[in-house]
Structure 1
Amino acid sequence: MLNPMVDVHPNTSGLPGLQAFEKIAGALLTFGLVAAVAGVAISAIAWAAGSHSSNPHVAGRGKNGVLVACAAALLIGGANALVTFFHNAGGTIH
């Protein structure tokens, strides 16, 4: 018995409203980057306040917040490259 072969590829012209969806996704990337900047600023303030007031818990949470916000910005900035890489890598699986 032969197994059927499925051969489906992304189609950029087959779905109405795709351009609008791409604009929405781009706007979400922008909002994400703005939120990451705000996260860095707020976390840095918490880090400084915790360090200045000798509160290691607040200082540690501020440090973690800075790292998380920077990691979020890295992922958001590289979202297109990451998705493209994994799409291409997945296309080589047979």
Structure 2
Amino acid sequence: MDVSPDFGAVGGLGDLRLIVGALLTFVLIFAVLMLIICAIVWGVATSSGNYHAATRARAGVLVAVGTAALAGAGVAWVNFLLGVGETL
């Protein structure tokens, strides 16, 4: 059996792909900006002895890295699931 999704049946698929691509770009840009800002705050707060701010900034760095990883891996995950779906 060769079963695969019919993406041609969706009206406005090209527009939908553009919108999703633009949203993914915004997410990655904001995640990188958040990573840069939080890393700077983490360094300054640690060097000045403000450990509460350093802890918050470290959490921000981890959230930014996780967000960028999830956004970047989302496309690969969907492609993998579509590949698995074709073999079922």
- Which residue does 1:5 correspond to in 2? none
Cα separation, 2, equivalents of 1:25 and 1:62: 29
Q: TM-score, normalised by structure 2?
A: 0.82
SS at match of 2:14: helix
What's the % identity of the aligned pairs? 42
Q: Aligned pairs, how many?
A: 86
Q: Comparing both chains, which one has the higher relative contact order based on Cα–Cα distances under 8 Å and sequence gaps of 6 or more?
A: 2
Aligned alpha-carbon RMSD (Å): 1.9
Is 2:16 aligned against 1:16?
A: no
1:68 is displaced (CA, Å) by 1.1
Larger Cα-atom Rg: 1
Q: Is the 8 A contact 2:38 2:58 kept in 1?
A: yes
Q: TM-score, normalised by structure 1?
A: 0.78
Cα separation, 2, equivalents of 1:11 and 1:47: 48
- Which residue does 2:47 correspond to in 1? 52
- Which residue does 2:80 correspond to in 1? 85
Cα separation, 2, equivalents of 1:90 and 1:49: 49
Letter in 2 for 1:50: A
Q: Is the 8 A contact 2:31 2:65 kept in 1?
A: yes
Q: Unpaired runs of 5+ in structure 1?
A: 1-7
Letter in 1 for 2:42: W
Cα separation, 2, equivalents of 1:65 and 1:29: 19
Which stretch shows the higher mean deviation, 73-82 or 27-36? Answer: 73-82
